[in-house]
A and B are shown apart, each in its own frame.
Chain A
Amino acid sequence: MKKKASGSLALVQRLALAPYSFWAVLFIVVPLIFVAYYAFTDLDFRFTTDNITRFFTATSTITDEAGTREVHTYVLIFLRSLKLAVISTVICLIFGYPFAYLISKASARTQSVLITLIMIPMWMNFLIRTYAWMTILQDTGLLNGLLSSLGLGRVHIIGTESAVVIGMVYDYFPYMILPIYSVMAKMDVKLIEAARDLGCNSAGVLRRVIWPLSLPGVISGVTMVLIPSISTFYISQKLGNGKFYLIGDAIEGQYAANNLHFAAAIAFILMIILLFGMAFMQRFANKRAAA
């Protein structure tokens, strides 16, 4: 009797979950299978690993200040994307962490005001935000107008890696702050008092209690900034003047050229690398938590 009741409960639960499972399969699992399928097939949908090999072996000749040389095109593009994404993530973390801490220590009212201020830019379209930075950073833009009116001369930023990094940091900063803030806001004040009671000065409290306890927030913040900034394509086109071809641009370019199979291969490789990266970070965090 009892067993039957719990059985029907399980059925109800499964029925209630059905729409979500269906949704997840249709819009997450199926597309992933398609990406993998395209990555490993040629134009006639015959199995091939050529697309994958091409990513690692394709070469091209570039000429810059350092001279003319032969490079592995996509490996170079990937490393460049990784470099800019890591720089942006580190900058977001360096500014975001103390900021999140200060917000979590403010009064409840100030906290909600500050969080709203951080979220407001996210309500605006991504493209519009990036265009706004174009007009700010242009050689004749707002920034240079301000600098020259102060008699400080002009700077050339647009079209440099710095401009791309500025754009990434601006766009993804909230994704760093919010998870760190939410972990810190929940942290028990008594733990900080206990650490002080047991001999820690402010630096000790930060290093031995606040930082390790906020690591889950840091990990998710880093993930949420690193991954979109590694695969972004629009920011580099607009703020880098298209000079810094990133992995996202490469996918978009192949896709636009109707080369779906190679586009899928790049996306697939990127996904695998990110998965490994995330697994590694998670392990690192677990180890720290266990130590």
Chain B
Amino acid sequence: MKKIIELKGVSKSFDGELVLDHIDLDIYDNEFLTLLGPSGCGKTTTLRIIGGFETADEGEVIFMGEEIGAVPPHKRNVNTVFQRYALFPHLNVFENVAFPLREKKVPKDEINERVNEMLSLVALKGFEKRSVTSLSGGQQQRVAIARALVGRPKVLLLDEPLAALDLKLRKDMQQELKNIQKATGITFIFVTHDQEEALSMSDTVVVMSEGRIQQIGTPIDIYNEPKNAFVADFIGESNILDGVMLRDRRVSFSGHVFDCVDAGFELKEPVDVVIRPEDVDIVKAEKGMLRGIVTSVTFLGVHYEIIVDINGFKWMIQTTDFVDVDEEIGLYIEPEAIHIMKKSEYSGMFGDYSSYSMELDEIGELNEIEELGELTEEPERESERAE
């Protein structure tokens, strides 16, 4: 695969605040790459640097082998779909899409042909003469995509393009965007804070936090093999526990020794242990590797989400079996369900569901609040959990 964009040591500050901290990123031809992270993590700034709307304070932006840091946006072979579409209100649908072609003085016949081709690609045939202000959000979104693609860019930048759509429409557009990307073969760089969106659409996911890249990988890698507590917590739900590697494929946490599949750690190395809520089996208390008391049960349609208190640490477990609050249950965890991560700066900040259970766990709660104060994106995450 051919590299199309390379970011090398790119940094950017606004008013003395570091927004991007030496980002290194290779983007390949023909891939659907997603920049994923909470608000303020630097994902939009990265996109704007690639688009030419911001210049990096430090580092290089290389586009098809050429440094383009000083090239203005209109000379870059890159187009953008803006967050709230930024359609031109004084032009109709056809003229919005034809806008870049008219600037390039493309012959009339070719303009007609290419605009029509784009409008059928986004299923907006027959809307040519309509005013863009009369369209629904989803239709405006399609016009914006057609307008950005009609100039045949090498790379399409999408800045949270689906954020303003309702859930159903968003799901449809995700699928459609993916199809358009496959049909055109254009590299898509997609920015979102929605982890589900990132997992379902991307070839490559780049998880960002605090101006740094936390992990780059396929959706499956990112979900199954998160590199640190931040990634494990941000992508899906995770119980993250303090553990110690006893030797290869043996780990101890929650006062019990487990078999696992990870190796290559030092003897007695402290680690973070990730267990996904859907990977825990509920068994009778006396048969469990761990046992605990159910503190809350929430019915979510497909499954129940229960919180279990095990030695003061609150686990989240997703199960289709009904259990009752205050019931004592046992947990059974297979070796494959245990994922071991090296300790990081994020250790201890995520992965405990004390606050989630809405019960007052005084000490835990207070500690967590203090830690949360340092993280700007945390209130958003909290509200997500509360949902």
- Across the two chains, which residue of chain B brings its CB closest to A205? B74
Given A188-B86, A198-B147, A212-B90, decide whether A193 and B100 contact each other with a Cβ distance below 8 A: no
- Separation in Å of the B126 CB from the closest CB of chain A? 19
- Separation in Å of the B384 CB from the closest CB of chain A? 27
Number of interface residues of A (CB under 8 A): 21
Stretch at the interface among B76-84, B207-215, B289-297, B360-368: B76-84
Complex interface: chain A residues within 8 A of B73 (CB): 193, 196-197
Is there an interface contact between B89 and A194, defined as CB atoms closer than 8 Å? Answer: no
Query: Does B356 sit within 8 A of A, measured CB to CB?
Result: no
- Separation in Å of the A179 CB from the closest CB of chain B? 17
Complex interface: chain A residues within 8 A of B104 (CB): 199
Q: Which of A134-193 contact B (CB under 8 A)?
A: 188, 190-191, 193
Query: Does B161 sit within 8 A of A, measured CB to CB?
Result: no
Query: Does B99 sit within 8 A of A, measured CB to CB?
Result: yes
Given A193-B53, A213-B89, A213-B90, decide whether A199 and B84 contact each other with a Cβ distance below 8 A: no
How many angstroms from the CA of A197 to the CA of B82 in the assembled complex? 10
- Separation in Å of the B375 CB from the closest CB of chain A? 29
How many angstroms from the CA of A209 to the CA of B89 in the assembled complex? 9
Is there an interface contact between A193 and B82, defined as CB atoms closer than 8 Å? Answer: yes
Complex interface: chain A residues within 8 A of B100 (CB): 198-199
- Separation in Å of the A194 CB from the closest CB of chain B? 4
Query: Does B185 sit within 8 A of A, measured CB to CB?
Result: no
- Separation in Å of the B192 CB from the closest CB of chain A? 18
Q: Which of B50-90 contact A (CB under 8 A)?
A: 51-53, 72-74, 78-80, 82-84, 86-90
Query: Does A114 sit within 8 A of B, measured CB to CB?
Result: no
How many angstroms from the CA of A288 to the CA of B92 in the assembled complex? 12
Query: Does B370 sit within 8 A of A, measured CB to CB?
Result: no
Complex interface: chain B residues within 8 A of A201 (CB): 72, 74
Given A196-B74, A197-B73, A200-B74, decide whether A191 and B103 contact each other with a Cβ distance below 8 A: no
Is there an interface contact between B74 and A190, defined as CB atoms closer than 8 Å? Answer: no
- Separation in Å of the B5 CB from the closest CB of chain A? 16
Query: Does B151 sit within 8 A of A, measured CB to CB?
Result: yes
Complex interface: chain A residues within 8 A of B95 (CB): 291
Contact with A along B86-110 (1 / 0, CB 8 A): 1111101001000110111000000
How many angstroms from the CA of A190 to the CA of B74 in the assembled complex? 14
- Across the two chains, which residue of chain B brings its CB closest to A216? B90
Complex interface: chain B residues within 8 A of A191 (CB): 86, 88
Is there an interface contact between B82 and A194, defined as CB atoms closer than 8 Å? Answer: yes
Given A196-B72, A198-B79, decide whether A190 and B89 contact each other with a Cβ distance below 8 A: no
Complex interface: chain B residues within 8 A of A198 (CB): 74, 79, 99-100, 103, 147-148, 151
Question: Which among A190, A208, A290 is the interface contact of B103 at CB below 8 angstroms?
Answer: A208
Query: Does A289 sit within 8 A of B, measured CB to CB?
Result: yes
Complex interface: chain A residues within 8 A of B84 (CB): 190
Which of B78, B100, B151 has most chain A Cβ within 10 Å? Answer: B100
- Separation in Å of the B153 CB from the closest CB of chain A? 9
Query: Does A228 sit within 8 A of B, measured CB to CB?
Result: no
- Across the two chains, which residue of chain B brings its CB closest to A212? B90
Is there an interface contact between B90 and A200, defined as CB atoms closer than 8 Å? Answer: no
- Separation in Å of the B56 CB from the closest CB of chain A? 17
- Across the two chains, which residue of chain B brings its CB closest to A191? B86
Is there an interface contact between A199 and B151, defined as CB atoms closer than 8 Å? Answer: yes
- Across the two chains, which residue of chain B brings its CB closest to A196? B73
Query: Does A204 sit within 8 A of B, measured CB to CB?
Result: yes
A-B contact pairs, 18 of them (CB 8 A): A193-B73, A193-B86, A194-B86, A194-B88, A195-B88, A196-B52, A196-B53, A196-B72, A196-B73, A196-B74, A197-B51, A197-B73, A197-B80, A198-B148, A199-B100, A208-B102, A213-B88, A288-B90
Q: Which residues of B contact A (CB under 8 A)?
A: 51-53, 72-74, 78-80, 82-84, 86-90, 92, 95, 99-100, 102-104, 147-148, 151
